[in-house]
Amino acid sequence: MTVYTVSTLIYGLGRSGRGVARFLARSGETAEWLDARPQPQDLALMTELGFSQGQLDRPYRQVIAAPGVPIDHPDLEQLRAQGAEVIGEAELAFRARPGLPMVGITGTAGKGSTTVLVADLLRACGLRAREGGNIDPPLLDVVDDADVVVVELSSFQLERVVQFRPAVAVITNLGTDHLDRHRTLAAYHQAKLAITARQTSDDLLILPVGLDVPTRAQVQHADPAQLRLSGGQRVLDAGTLPQGIHPANAAAALLAAEGLLRQLGQPVDLPLLRSALLRARPVKGRFETVAQCGGLRFINDSIATRTLAVQAALEQAAPPIVWLVGGRDKGAELDPLREAARGRVVQVVGFGEDGERFARQLELPYVLAGGVGGEQVMREAVRLAVETLSQQRDPRGTVLLSPIGTSFDLYRDYTERGEAFTRAALDVVEALEAAVRR
């Protein structure tokens, strides 16, 4: 009788799965893998690490499932029925490095920007902090090179935590998202709340003003109108934050960084925190100014597919705004966006699969950008936007890509969509500047 000795299966490769595989190999562990559509780089890494393809009917003890795989996928259900425990990368990191302080950050919008802000603040205070998780790089790529890790956690990742307990947790907000995956808003919110489910009174949970959730952790509320530490010391006025840094994210990041510093017995240096905030820059693709010509500004917010994120962009961008919307609809609520756009947006440019439907339902003046392929469509969208803003006596305003829809109709991902927007914006600015020189 054959005794099967490999006890770990990596289910789903891609970015997260590759991080899991590299971590296991560094730890001297062996694993097998399964993926319905492995990419060439995935196969090359598995061969390099000596990991073989697995089989569903084998008796694995542990399955580490990629966040893109639904938690109720039939294969995962079968593996559970055969005795396997299904977890994800965050749970593996927590178990494998139990002494490593972790700050966990989730929310419907703002979690990526807040993650980077917290890590920046901790680095400014002298800690070797690394960010990872739902944001690049994978969490397991950084856990062995950090005094503290700041983990961006999606609802998909939080579905597969069991013992995970961050010393400091942040919930930036709770809105509507991913109903195609979670099916109900209650299930989506329940997944998010897993970030604090194992916290105790020794831990800290940061929430936005007005939100309270079940928890045993100490709770602090972050007020975007007052960028202060927990003792009330003012750090900055919200109006002095750099362009693209949202006050709500900054307020939460300050309290999270302070909380961890205090837990570690480290000094909380207010001038260092203030200086770090003043140096902060938006994460690439998140309300990022990519070009400017006189009073015209081009903002790449390609990642914004959630109502709260798009609403924040509309509120931050300088009017008059021409708003580029499109992509593939994933169920975002449009009513709050109509209100946020009122008096600020002079035109909508619809593009891609659901661009026209978005534009019609927003009940604002609109035009449609056509073309063959994502590059051409985006160039036409930017051209139409600039044409509208250039009709003013003193051309000024914002061309805002905050698209509502996902990118998968025309682009590989939101990064590729944002890069197409950036190229189009830079080309337009170059042409405008050349015309002035003439």
User: Which residues belong to the annotated binding site?
Assistant: 107-113
Is-contact 159 181, C-beta < 8 A? no
User: CA angle, corner 312, sides to 256 and 249, nearest 5?
Assistant: 10
Please give the single-letter amino acid code of residue 335.
Answer: D
- Paired tokens of 389: 């803003």
How far apart, in Å, are the Cα atoms of 195 and each of 138, 139, 219?
18, 15, 13
- Paired tokens of 58: 């084998």
Is-contact 350 356, C-beta < 8 A? yes
Q: What's the CA gap between 168 and 36, in Å, rounded?
A: 36
Q: How far is CA 249 from the centre of its chain?
A: 12
Phi, psi dihedral angles at 236 (to 5 degrees): -155, 160
- Paired tokens of 9: 């299966």
- Paired tokens of 117: 């802000």
State the first-to-last Cα distance of the chain, in angstroms, to the nearest integer. Answer: 84
Is-contact 274 124, C-beta < 8 A? no
Please give the single-letter amino acid code of residue 300.
Answer: N
Burial of 171 (0-12, 13-18, 19+ CB in 10 A): buried
In a 3-state reduction of DSSP, which class is residue 406? strand
Residue of 259, 277, 276 whose CA lies nearest to 268: 259
List the binding residues for ATP. Answer: 107-113
For residue 137, whether the previous peptide bond is cis, meaning omega lies within 30 degrees of 0, is yes
Please give the single-letter amino acid code of residue 183.
Answer: R
Q: What's the CA gap between 252 and 153, in Å, rounded?
A: 15
